[in-house]
Chain A
Amino acid sequence: MLKQRPFLIETLTAIGLIVAPFVLPHLGFAPNTVNRILVWGLFGLGFDILFGFTGLLSFGQSAFYGTGGFVAAYLLTRAGFGNVLGALIIGMIAAAATGYLVGLIALRRTGIYFAMITVAIAQVFFFVEFNPLSDFTGGENGLPGVPTPSFNLGFTTIHFSNGWSLYQFIALCYLVGVIIALRIVRSPVGAILSAIRDNPLRATAVGHNIHGYKLTAFVIAAAYAGFAGGLLGVLQAFMPPDAFTFETSGQLVMQTAIGGRGTLFGPLVGAAVWLFLQDFLQAALGLGAAWKLVLGVVFVLLVCFLRGGIVGGIADLYRLASGKRKRTEAETEQEAADAAATQQPAPAPMQAKEVEHPAYSGPILKATSLTKRYGGLVANSDIDFSVNQGELRGIIGPNGAGKSTFFKMLTCEIAPTSGRIVFEGRDITGLKVTEVCQLGLTKSYQVNQLFTGLTVRQNLTIAALAELRGKFRLDLFRKLSGVKGLTEQVEHTLALVNLTRRADTPVSELAYGEKRRLEIGLALATSPRLLLLDEPLAGMSPRERVETVKLLKSIARGRTMIIIDHDMDSLFELVERVTVLQEGRVLVSGTPEEIKTNAAVQEAYLGGVHGEIAA
């Protein structure tokens, strides 16, 4: 919805802001209320990038709102700084810098820890404002006398004094805020942020430094908060100390959830509902102090029954109304395409990443005495393992033989207890999974690890971005389409895993076999030179297996692969050599023929302690 036409949303926002002063007074909104709503909306733009897009729920945004507000207000009142816009921007920078420092601490943990730490930090700011810094902030009196902006254009001076005049200034700020936020959301960074919300584990595994991106989102949110805080002072001609309270953070969270998270405009809608109801319940219904109880109940009901908030609910309704027609069209189209696909020639094989040291010609991967212990349990012990360039290696072994653990160590998802891993002559033991993926070694997971809230194309885009942009880059204002080679790589991967027709389908609507192929596609889109596949055939129907084996053969050209699977027939057809693991040790290695006739292997599968039968 956000990317249909360029500048559509920006234009609509501008029109809305121009029309508002003519319409809203008739609905009972005072100019001051509208200005407040815009300040909350601006505050919420940044917060929505943090919470709605990145999935980080902070209850401590008041810290940055207050910081920006008081820095700007101090400059404009006590320091005698004359330029209002300049002060607002300095306040914003101060808030962003504070956000960076706070983020370093708060982002050490995720989930509820993050929420708790942000609450605690915001509380510290509140007390610091009231006590140690009260000489600068006026303590509980706040800072009165914040001037409104005026611009000297030489021939005349424009002064935005109050009411609708001040509205023009604030509305302009909001519009700029929206334009910037939309750029960020549509940039590669924006795409990665939603990947982090969806599946941080996989976002890391395809080669993104998610900590860096989370910190980026946190700083962006702090910057927006800081600017909005400054505007609050300008709006009220007074910087109130309660900007720093926990209630401010709470109100922002509630407004965002009421309006709709992940929509950018949700906080604005939420603020409008909030402030309108506050006036309405207090004045018209004479509820007095009970208004907050009513809003609390409304909020709880919305969280329970309408997760997307008001904007999300409207979007759902719109989709429901327009979606039925599209679906029937899509289905007939798909059947036709299905028939056509079988006759299509296979797409060209995909190139692996360029080799960094072309001179290196030893084994691509070499593991020496790799051991993993979980307390008393030894999952892998003393594994020596070596794979040559261009080889196709299979790994088999009964359940619990330690195959997946072995893979996790090779991709540095877990650290080995002892032993060394060398990839293309480079010691990668102790590196992070992100770095290893960037070097050209990745795996597809045994249990699908997809970005389930995104479409197939978006999934592959996330993976391809990691390869094309490296693990961290702040191209906040670049369009996704401006990333060189991205479209080609995504289209190519789509064709390779035969999902071109499903490119714009959300992952949650894919069939299992298709999800499985996308899982391989995610690994493939990072252009690995060494690809590990953990049970790529698991759970597939016989027909899907045949297709997938064909797919694996085609991607094996020009790259090295190691495959774990229980489907012996398919695996033996595919690979050149097989390594058998049993109880965490290498039992034997050899060609498929040798393995088939090996007595120890037959013992491991059919007799002995396990008594399991191969699939």
Chain B
Amino acid sequence: MISWPNLVSQLFNGLALGALLALISSGLTIIYGTLGVLNLAHGAMFMIGGYAGFVAYQYTESFVLAVIAGSLFVMLLGVLMERVIIRHFYHRPHEDQLLVTFGLGICFVELVRLIFSSQSQLVPPPALFQGITNLGFMFYPTYRLAVVGIVAVALGALFIILYRTRLGMIVRAGIEDSVMVDSLGINVYRVFMVVFGIGAMAAGFAGIINAPVVSLTPGIGDDILVQTFVVVVIGGVGSFPGAILGGLIAGEIISVTSMFNPGYAYVMLFAVMTLVLVVRPHGLLGVQGRE
């Protein structure tokens, strides 16, 4: 039987998951939109963000420092990955880009498994957000509410970078037409590096924010990666608003379906994705032409 408090609580869960998915997908989508590379190691970035934060937390016992360290570490890893490997793949076929990022993702996951073992690790939520909150009509874990707020701030920051800065203007122009941007005398390769770093950081940040909600395992990014794909297909590749809309839709579908039967969460998600593909092949907010 559906009970109202249960439904509302699942809607809140969906919002938290959706916000996280929106943030991760934004990272994936701006990397793809700008560089033309679909990063299959993006799920691993999410996972590494969590583990990097976990290590920082072990040393400092400060959640804030853990978040900062986790995000920065993943950003550096992203920059390094772009400099050393990805940039040699800009002029190779899409398949090769998919293969190499897929391989890198596996290397990251296995490396983490080697260091931390497959056992799950725990990061407690910060003291400020521990416990539960009385929303008047129901009780809800405080940290999950906080996640929505924190991610909203992060998305806002990403929005400002994309829509209010010179870099953001170049990135958005690059998504439209990267050849044109290149011929305007802008060093696109430096922009690519920065974008890859920011995109990876978005996933890493989400990884550490998510860590107190679920325990960390090396395989945590795999599921997230698949969900991110669905988000991007629903929202439209290369579209930042599309990633946010798609993320929220996907988060709610997963949570609400799970209330009835978790086994059908993916089926529903997939059904919606198919529907979008049939009705609007380029995604809800996607633009035609970018493939």
Contacts and interface: CB of A to CB of B under 8 A. Distances in A.
Given A253-B99, A293-B111, A296-B106, A116 B229 contact: yes
B273 interface: yes
B291 A123 contact: no
A431 interface: no
A599 interface: no
Contact of B95 (A57, A254, A290): A57
A124 interface: yes
Nearest to B228: A116
A321 B100 CA distance: 30
B263 A132 contact: yes
A296 to B, nearest CB: 4
A124 B267 CA distance: 6
Contacts, number: 123
Interface on chain B toward A: helix, strand, loop, or mixed SS? helix
Contacts of A303: 96, 99-100, 103
A113 B291 contact: yes
Contacts of B93: 55
Contacts of B261: 131-132
B98 A57 contact: yes
Nearest to B232: A116
Interface string A59-85: 100000000000000000000000000
Interface stretch (A103-111, A392-400, A417-425): A103-111
A130 B232 CA distance: 26
B263 A128 contact: yes
A124 B226 CA distance: 10
Contacts of A55: 93, 95
Contact of A113 (B102, B113, B237): B237
B266 A111 contact: no
B218 to A, nearest CB: 10
Interface in A32-56: 51, 55
B106 A112 contact: no
A293 B114 contact: yes
Given A116-B232, A117-B233, A110 B106 contact: no
Contacts of B5: none
Contact of A296 (B96, B107, B225, B262): B107
A132 B264 contact: yes
B103 A116 contact: no
B100 A300 contact: yes
B277 interface: yes
A307 to B, nearest CB: 7
B85 interface: yes
A476 interface: no
Contact of A112 (B38, B107, B277): B38
A121 to B, nearest CB: 7
A289 B111 CA distance: 10
A311 to B, nearest CB: 16
Contact of A123 (B96, B118, B226): B226
A257 interface: yes
Interface in B242-287: 261-267, 269-270, 273-274, 277-278, 281
A132 B261 CA distance: 9
Contacts of A183: none
Interface residues of A, number: 41
B166 interface: no
Given A112-B98, A113-B291, A292 B106 contact: yes
A123 B104 contact: no
Contacts of A289: 110, 113-114, 118
A81 to B, nearest CB: 27
B176 to A, nearest CB: 13
B273 A297 contact: no
B264 to A, nearest CB: 7
Given A109-B291, A300-B100, A124 B270 contact: yes
A59 B98 CA distance: 10
Most buried by B among A112, A119, A132, A297: A112
Nearest to A121: B270
B38 A115 contact: yes
Contacts of B269: 120, 124
Contacts of A109: 277, 281, 291
B164 interface: no
A307 B263 contact: no
B94 A112 contact: yes
Nearest to B99: A303
A304 interface: yes
A124 B114 CA distance: 29
Given A127-B267, A131-B264, A253-B102, A113 B114 contact: no
Contacts of B114: 289-290, 293
A293 B104 CA distance: 10
Contacts of A121: 270
B270 A120 contact: yes
Contacts of B91: none
Contacts of A115: 38, 94, 98
B263 A120 contact: no
A130 B266 CA distance: 12
Contacts of A119: 225-226, 229
B88 interface: yes
A145 interface: no
A299 interface: yes
A68 B85 CA distance: 38
A538 B13 CA distance: 62
Nearest to A123: B226
A372 B237 CA distance: 27
Contacts of B270: 120-121, 123-124
Interface string A17-33: 00000000000000000
Nearest to A254: B103
B102 A110 contact: no
B209 to A, nearest CB: 24
B262 A111 contact: no
A250 interface: yes
Contacts of B96: 303, 307
Contacts of B88: 304
A520 B77 CA distance: 49
Contacts of A164: none
Contacts of B262: 131
B12 interface: no
A292 B267 contact: no
B85 A304 contact: yes
Interface in A231-265: 246, 250, 253-254, 257
A118 B263 CA distance: 19
A292 B109 CA distance: 10
A257 B92 CA distance: 15
A50 to B, nearest CB: 11
Contacts of A254: 102-103, 106
Given A127-B263, A254-B103, A303-B96, A120 B110 contact: no
Given A120-B270, A289-B113, A300 B107 contact: yes
Interface in A97-151: 105, 108-113, 115-117, 119-121, 123-124, 126-128, 130-132
A113 B266 contact: no
Contact of B103 (A113, A127, A299): A299
A610 to B, nearest CB: 22
A254 to B, nearest CB: 7
Contacts of A250: 102, 106
B106 to A, nearest CB: 4
A47 to B, nearest CB: 13
B82 interface: no
6 contacts: A127-B263, A132-B267, A289-B113, A293-B111, A300-B104, A307-B92
Given A115-B38, A123-B226, A123-B266, 15 more contacts: A51-B95, A105-B277, A108-B278, A110-B291, A123-B270, A124-B269, A127-B266, A128-B267, A131-B263, A132-B261, A254-B106, A300-B107, A303-B103, A304-B85, A304-B100
Interface of A: 51, 55, 57, 59, 105, 108-113, 115-117, 119-121, 123-124, 126-128, 130-132, 246, 250, 253-254, 257, 289-290, 292-293, 296-297, 299-300, 303-304, 307
